[in-house]
């Protein structure tokens, strides 16, 4: 069986019909991952207990769509008894004693944790190049990045190591790698999924989401992981729909807004070409597509880097070498222990963000940076919500370019940050947003971004599903893997 | 412009030490990023309330009742140095500071 060609539904059918046991599926998944690891580096830790877990599922029976299905888990989601590092040296030996709520929910549904996928250190980055465990590579072209920060999850799905993976998205960390790897990825509405047990980066922006080749597979997983959690007071009490059962590709009468600022000068013409073709397809399906304006978009990157860095500098204060993680040796006193553990344990990008945030929150800079950014955020949220009063969806490119070369931007943080301009808006406004494959530009995947109204994940899934059924992009095998089949 | 002294001050506030040979590259990178962020000054935000938090819930109440979470042994599992079930750390007050 070639997992690359399977879906959650097709694997479920095989498990129910006993064509394969959960144990066999888990064993094959781990073998595949281990065989690919040298080339792709998608996982930081493979879950060697997966086969044991799968045996239990076989004993209990295949109850529900995720029972026995191996799923990749981004390594900033804590997993009881499975090392969780956030791709940082400072957590190189961290063994959680509890699991994130999303993991409890997956386990209750019988899903199998295949292992912990690579990411940029503490999810700060757009390429996985800031990972302490080395960069992952793009299965479409091994010389290119898989994007980030959920690059390991995206590449693992694109390479067919797992049918679905969890990611987190603070400024585009699910959608950008989904676009770069030719897969689907959704960041739900802020509050849709519990953040309990998710290693905090920027708490007003972070959200857990799903990545898969097929839209319907992410729909299945999101219905399982979403919902209110007493451990996360920002999680919503709104009922969770069965996104999969409600999938519809009917686009008649759907009103799509296209912000003209998304067509900015830095965007690659081949990206725009693919996005325009997708928009034409929606028109043919009966949707209306109209241009709108988001004048404050030009300040989105500024707002994001002030707020995300400020929240990060506060959230990352907890790493001090005292209670867990890396502890510096040969220190004279407690202050040295803090400073040396942090300085030796954090990588350069994390240090930059902590310093940016500490600066923005410091006396003298607070009003001009932190407070100002929070005010501009309000203006921007209002602009987005005004558009969504008149339209069902906002669409545009997910990224300004296809996957870039490994090493190309790693020494220029500002260029790396500007990459995020198209994905940041949904995080600032807390809106659900997805990337769905639109086509290829010079052999590299391009993603269409779909942003919905708060808690309208179903509309986002439906629009993505309509395009998927039109272009059937999931049939494509990543170029760099073709020779291996 | 953000100066070298400011960067070193910010690093100290964040309990970070920057190697001498890396200071210049941190200064030039952070200067560029802060320069980008400074463009926010051009937006008129008179009368606009800041957005610091997200989510549709404001206050959450629960019964004031203790719940069982982890055991002491579990809580100490990840501690780098433990002695007599306590977290061991180096000197908190330097002797020189006392004199």
Mean pLDDT (whole number) for A208-219:
98
Minimal CA separation from A371 to chain B, in Å: 6
Domains parsed from chain A with CATH numbers: 3-257+389-484 (3.90.1300.10)
Domain assignment of residue B76, yes or no? no
Burial grade of A476 (CB within 10 A; 0-12, 13-18, 19 or more): middle
| Domain limits for position B35 | 4-40
| H-run or E-run covering B67 | none
Q: Convert the pLDDT of each residue in B37-61 to its tens digit.
A: 999 999 999 999 999 998 765 677 8
Secondary structure class of B82 (helix, strand, coil): strand
User: Which residues in chain B are contacts of A413 at CB distance < 8 A?
Assistant: 29, 32-33
Secondary structure class of B91 (helix, strand, coil): strand
Picking from B29, B80, B93, the nearest residue to A352 by CB comes out as B29
Mean pLDDT (whole number) for A53-71:
97
**pLDDT tier at A414, thresholds 50, 70, 90:** confident
Picking from A321, A334, A372, the nearest residue to B92 by CB comes out as A334
Verify whether residue A74 is a known catalytic residue.
yes
Domain assignment of residue B77, yes or no? no
Question: What is the Rg, in whole angstroms, of the alpha carbon atoms belonging to chain A?
Answer: 21
CB contact under 8 A, A339 and B17: yes
Q: Convert the pLDDT of each residue in A301-355 to its tens digit.
A: 999 999 999 999 999 999 999 999 999 999 999 999 999 999 999 999 999 999 9
Q: Which two tokens stand for residue A56?
A: 């239990």
Secondary structure class of B87 (helix, strand, coil): strand
Calpha distance A468→A436 (Å, rounded): 8
Calpha distance A118→A87 (Å, rounded): 7
CB contact under 8 A, A338 and B15: yes
Q: Convert the pLDDT of each residue in A214-223 to its tens digit.
A: 999 999 999 9
Q: Convert the pLDDT of each residue in A345-385 to its tens digit.
A: 999 999 999 999 999 999 999 999 999 999 999 999 999 99
Verify whether residue A149 is a known catalytic residue.
yes
- Give the Å distances, CA to CA, from B79 to A84, A92, A327, B82: 15, 13, 9, 7
| H-run or E-run covering B86 | strand B86-87
Domain assignment of residue B19, yes or no? yes
**Is 70 exceeded by the pLDDT of residue B95?**
no
Look up the pTM and report it.
0.97
Q: Convert the pLDDT of each residue in B69-92 to its tens digit.
A: 889 999 999 999 999 999 999 988
**pLDDT tier at A3, thresholds 50, 70, 90:** confident
Domain assignment of residue B10, yes or no? yes
What share of chain A in percent tops pLDDT 90? 94
Number of domains in chain B: 1
DSSP state of B43: S
Mean pLDDT (whole number) for A140-157:
98
**Is 70 exceeded by the pLDDT of residue A461?**
yes
pLDDT at position B99 is: 43
Q: Which two tokens stand for residue A215?
A: 């839209």
pLDDT at position A103 is: 98
Spell out the residues 6+ positions from residue A429 whose beta carbon is closer than 8 angstroms to its own.
A380, A381, A384, A385
Domain assignment of residue B79, yes or no? no
Calpha distance A380→A296 (Å, rounded): 6
pLDDT at position B58 is: 67
pLDDT at position B67 is: 85
Q: Give the residue on B whose Cα is nearest the Cα of A349.
A: B26
**Is 80 exceeded by the pLDDT of residue A485?**
no
Domain assignment of residue B14, yes or no? yes
Minimal CA separation from B96 to chain A, in Å: 11
Calpha distance A235→A22 (Å, rounded): 32
Of the residues A99, A127, A173, A212, which is catalytic? A173
Query: Measuring CA to CA, which residue among A371, A359, A404 is closest to residue A141?
Result: A404
Provide the ipTM: 0.93
Spell out the residues 6+ positions from residue B84 whose beta carbon is closer than 8 angstroms to its own.
none
Spell out the residues 6+ positions from residue B73 whose beta carbon is closer than 8 angstroms to its own.
none
**Is 50 exceeded by the pLDDT of residue A166?**
yes
Query: Measuring CA to CA, which residue among A466, A457, A298, A296 is closest to residue A392?
Result: A457
């Amino acid at each position: 069986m070639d997992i690359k060609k399977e879906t959650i539904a097709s694997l479920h059918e095989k498990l129910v019909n006993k064509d394969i046991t959960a144990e066999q599926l888990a064993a094959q998944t781990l073998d595949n991952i281990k065989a690919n690891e040298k080339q792709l580096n998608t996982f930081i830790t493979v879950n060697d207990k997966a086969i044991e877990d799968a045996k239990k599922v076989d004993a209990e029976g295949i109850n529900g769509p995720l029972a026995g299905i191996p799923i990749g888990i981004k390594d900033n989601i804590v997993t009881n008894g499975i090392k969780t590092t956030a791709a940082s040296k400072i957590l190189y030996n961290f063994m959680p004693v509890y699991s994130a709520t999303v993991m409890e929910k997956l386990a209750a549904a019988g899903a199998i944790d295949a292992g912990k996928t690579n990411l940029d250190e503490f999810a700060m980055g757009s390429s996985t190049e800031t990972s302490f465990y080395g960069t992952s590579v793009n299965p479409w072209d091994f010389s290119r990045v898989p994007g980030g920060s959920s690059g390991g999850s995206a590449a693992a799905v694109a390479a067919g190591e797992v049918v679905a993976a969890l990611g987190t998205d603070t400024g585009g960390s699910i959608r950008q790698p989904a676009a770069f790897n030719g897969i689907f990825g959704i960041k739900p509405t802020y509050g849709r999924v519990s953040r309990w047990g998710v290693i905090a980066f920027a708490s007003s922006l972070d959200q857990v989401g799903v990545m898969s080749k097929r839209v319907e597979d992410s729909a299945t997983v999101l219905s399982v992981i979403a919902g209110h959690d007493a451990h996360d007071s920002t999680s919503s009490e709104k009922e969770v729909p069965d996104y999969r059962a409600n999938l519809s590709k009917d686009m008649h009468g759907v009103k799509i807004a296209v912000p003209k600022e998304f067509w900015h000068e830095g965007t690659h013409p081949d990206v725009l070409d693919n996005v325009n073709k997708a928009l034409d397809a929606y028109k043919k399906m009966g949707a209306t597509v109209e241009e709108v304006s988001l004048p404050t978009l030009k300040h989105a990157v500024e707002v994001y880097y002030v707020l995300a860095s400020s929240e990060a500098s506060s959230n990352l204060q907890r790493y001090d070498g005292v209670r867990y993680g890396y502890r510096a040796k040969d220190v004279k006193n407690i202050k040295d222990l803090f400073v040396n553990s942090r300085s030796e344990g954090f990588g350069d990008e994390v240090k930059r963000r902590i310093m940016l945030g500490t600066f923005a929150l410091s006396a003298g800079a607070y009003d001009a940076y932190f407070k100002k950014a929070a005010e501009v955020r309000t203006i921007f949220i209002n602009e987005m919500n005004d558009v969504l009063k008149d339209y069902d969806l906002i669409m545009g490119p997910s990224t300004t370019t296809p996957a870039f070369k490994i090493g190309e931007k790693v020494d220029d943080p500002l260029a790396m940050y500007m990459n995020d301009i198209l994905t940041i808006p949904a995080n600032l406004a807390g809106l659900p947003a997805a990337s769905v494959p639109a086509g290829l530009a010079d052999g590299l995947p391009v993603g269409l971004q779909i942003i919905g109204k708060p808690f309208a994940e179903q509309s986002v899934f439906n629009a993505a599903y309509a395009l998927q059924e039109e272009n059937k992009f999931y049939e494509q095998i990543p170029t760099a893997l073709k020779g291996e089949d | 412009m953000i100066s070298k002294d400011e960067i070193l001050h910010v690093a100290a506030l964040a309990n970070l030490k920057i190697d001498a040979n890396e200071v210049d590259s941190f200064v030039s990178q952070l200067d560029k990023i802060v320069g980008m962020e400074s463009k926010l000054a051009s937006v008129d935000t008179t009368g606009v309330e800041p957005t610091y938090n997200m989510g549709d819930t404001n206050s959450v109440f629960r019964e004031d009742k203790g719940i069982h979470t982890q055991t002491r042994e579990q809580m100490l599992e990840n501690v780098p140095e433990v002695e007599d079930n306590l977290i061991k750390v180096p000197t908190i007050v330097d002797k020189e500071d006392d004199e």
